[in-house]
Structure 1
Amino acid sequence: MSTLRPDYRALLVAASGITAGESDAASEEALARAEAAAASALAGGAVEDVPHVRAWREAYRAFGAKPQRTRNSLEALMRRAASAGLPRVNRLTDLYNALSVLHQVPLGGEDLDAYAGPPRLLRATGEEPFDTVAEGRPVVEHPEPGEVVWCDDEGVTCRRWNWRQGRRTQLTADTTSALFILDALEPLTDQALLAAGEDLLDHLRRLGPDVRTATRLLGPTTSHRG
């Protein structure tokens, strides 16, 4: 996405050997900290004034999305955390939602075993299938032409960069291998992005004695490590 946002970076974190499970005391504690952090961050101003939220609103406008109608995942979570509270879903989903708010970075998680081929970020043609839920029922939708989407060989896994994740690759209590994507724009620094990744890795390594992880930073300088 260098032509659309030259400052865009993505940190990919993969983990295998996970013992996932349902929401527990550890995930509850992380969610409670995130809710308190969101309330504190928004006590003196509006969520759209948070620097990284504002940057993502500008990115959405650049490919034709209306940020008031389809909010980036960071904005949506911060709004919910500061008002009604974050959802309690399962251990892995609770973890990435909490860390997204705590580090003020869009962060999504996918079940790697449900992937068909490697993940890739692209501008949609509008033909790609997106497996989701509408009005409580499973449906297949399609992105708008030119929309920024994450895809694998079977279709869209996340629409509008980090707006809505698909049903096919969603994390569950039975997930054992997962991919997490942390999205960054200026003014978020590489240092802050990597710190969020290290916090995620620290939590993931607690989810079983055989957890293995690898990371890759995509951007102007690409690096990876196991």
Structure 2
Amino acid sequence: MDCEAFLRDAVVSDDVFALRPDYRVDLVAASGVRPDADGQAVDQLIARSEDYAREMLASTPVAEIPHIASWRQAFKAFGAKPSDYRNSAEALLRRAPGGLPRINPLTDVYNALSVLHQTPIGGENLDVYEGPARLTRARGDEEFDTVSGGEGVVEHPAAGEVVWRDDRGVTCRRWNWRQCTRTQLTENTANVLFIIDTLDPLSAEQRNQVVDDLTGWLERLGGEDISRRTLLREHTP
């Protein structure tokens, strides 16, 4: 897996930047990950993130956390009601005081980091990707693999919805709301892509800290050929 080559082809469409010119995405890809390499440390990270959320939310409502509030406005911009469709960081922050879900080590790590940094982070299995990752606004006929009532189903995004996708279909709906089943990380995933979505007021220093923390964990979990690419709007009209 050539991680640098994969990231080189990733794209954010102009119509997404038109919604939020302040949008930044940091993409991190790695090969050869061994998710079971440091299980005790993963447990400690999760416990730390849960304690952090309890302390922070004791004095600040989730919706008033600056970066979460910014994402709520971004969702409104493409017609997603924030109370119905919560960005992934907000959903995790709301769950964290009562205990984060335990899924598999890789997923547990990025969920914990998302809470600690109040930042949406997504994890993707590169081995099942077909073509490059790209963020765009949906036509409405794209396929999205998910589960409903315990059964696998295919849904379609709303026209104009912000979605991550590859050549086969949608990999994440409503920017960072829900991932498809096809690209989810498993205990056997070795080649990974992480998507770190940020808006103002998160600073460049804060963004870099998220990436550094994630990269450090990938190294602890045996990651090789770790590459990073940042995509942002290059020109302001």
Query: Shorter chain as normaliser: what TM range?
Result: over 0.9
1:24: how far off? Answer: 2.6
Compute the TM-score of the two structures, normalised by the length of structure 1: 0.94
Give the superposed CA RMSD.
1.5
- Contact 2:172/2:180 (CA < 8 Å) preserved in 1? yes
Alignment partner for residue 211 of structure 1, among 224, 228, 231? 224
Deviations 1:169-206 (A, max 9, x none): 00000001000000000001121111100000001001
Alignment partner for residue 107 of structure 2, among 93, 112, 124? 93
**Aligned AA (1:50):** I
Compute the TM-score of the two structures, normalised by the length of structure 2: 0.90
Name the SS for the 1:188 alignment partner.
coil
**Aligned AA (1:24):** G
Moved over 6 A (4+): none
Quote the Cα distance in structure 1 between the aligned partners of 2:57 and 2:128.
37
| Counterpart in the other structure of 1:174 | 188
1:66: how far off? Answer: 0.5
**Aligned AA (1:211):** E
Alignment partner for residue 74 of structure 2, among 38, 59, 68? 59
Aligned residue pairs, count = 220
| Counterpart in the other structure of 1:137 | 151
Query: Does 2:59 align with 1:44?
Result: yes
Quote the Cα distance in structure 1 between the aligned partners of 2:99 and 2:37.
18
| Counterpart in the other structure of 1:33 | 48
Give unpaired runs (5+ residues) of structure 2. 1-15
Name the SS for the 1:2 alignment partner.
helix
Deviations 1:100-131 (A, max 9, x none): 01111100100000100000000001100000
- Contact 2:37/2:220 (CA < 8 Å) preserved in 1? no
Quote the Cα distance in structure 2 between the aligned partners of 1:24 and 1:104.
23
Give unpaired runs (5+ residues) of structure 1. none
Deviations 1:118-147 (A, max 9, x none): 000000011000001112111111101000
Alignment partner for residue 68 of structure 1, among 83, 92, 107? 83
Give the share of equivalent positions with the same residue, in percent.
55
| Counterpart in the other structure of 1:200 | 214
1:220: how far off? Answer: 3.1
1:27: how far off? Answer: 1.6
**Aligned AA (1:220):** R
